[in-house]
């Protein structure tokens, strides 16, 4: 096993024998934690190990959600290129695109739209990413690129 990966797993209390498992609190897999921390090196090692990228946490979020929280473009692109569900809806029906639009992250709105995120999806309250856009810039991107 990659020594950086082994140290990361140990640091965060992950079992090295099941790299796709959620921790007991159901908040993170190793991939989710690495995505949240912006650790592209660890994400690469985990993807090379064959982790299940479809796992979602107790909130219904996959690793792409945590990568969007971090905001690292290369990491987000790597997860999308690996086949992660870009339109995964969490326990509230929200997508990553809705999250970044509602949190004033226009650079990520643009990236997700360019990578194929569906701006027409609605959350359980019947709102789209455009409805949730927190800034004019996010709204303009959703209008122009959607």
pLDDT at 145: 66
The answer to whether the beta carbons of residues 20 and 33 sit under 8 Å apart is no
Q: Name the pTM for this structure.
A: 0.93
35 alpha-carbon distance from chain centroid: 7
Contacts for 81 with CB less than 8 Å, ≥ 6 apart? none
Contacts for 131 with CB less than 8 Å, ≥ 6 apart? none
pLDDT at 124: 96
Measured distance CA(59)–CA(71) in Å, rounded: 19
Strands (E), the chain: none
Measured distance CA(105)–CA(98) in Å, rounded: 10
Measured distance CA(109)–CA(32) in Å, rounded: 20
CATH 1.20.1440.230 fits 1-85, yes or no: no
Enumerate the domain spans of the chain.
1-85, 93-146
Q: Do domains 1-85 and 93-146 have the same CATH topology?
A: yes
pLDDT at 24: 77
The answer to whether the beta carbons of residues 109 and 142 sit under 8 Å apart is yes
pLDDT along the chain (146 residues), means of 10: 91 92 87 97 97 95 96 97 98 97 97 96 97 96 81
Quickly name the fold that domain 93-146 has.
1.25.40
pLDDT at 92: 94
């Amino acid at each position: 096993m990659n020594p950086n990966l082994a140290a990361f797993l140990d640091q965060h209390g992950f079992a090295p024998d099941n790299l796709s498992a959620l921790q007991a609190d159901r908040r993170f897999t190793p991939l989710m934690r690495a995505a949240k921390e912006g650790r592209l090196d660890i994400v690469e090692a985990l993807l090379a190990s064959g982790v299940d990228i479809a796992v979602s946490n107790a909130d219904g979020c996959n690793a792409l959600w945590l990568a969007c929280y971090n905001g690292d473009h290369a990491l987000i692109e790597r997860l999308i290129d690996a086949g992660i569900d870009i339109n995964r809806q969490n326990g509230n029906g929200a997508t990553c695109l809705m999250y970044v639009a509602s949190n004033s992250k226009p650079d990520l709105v643009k990236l997700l739209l360019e990578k194929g995120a569906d701006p027409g999806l609605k959350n359980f309250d019947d709102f789209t990413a455009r409805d949730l856009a927190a800034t004019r810039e996010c709204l303009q991107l959703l209008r122009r690129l959607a």
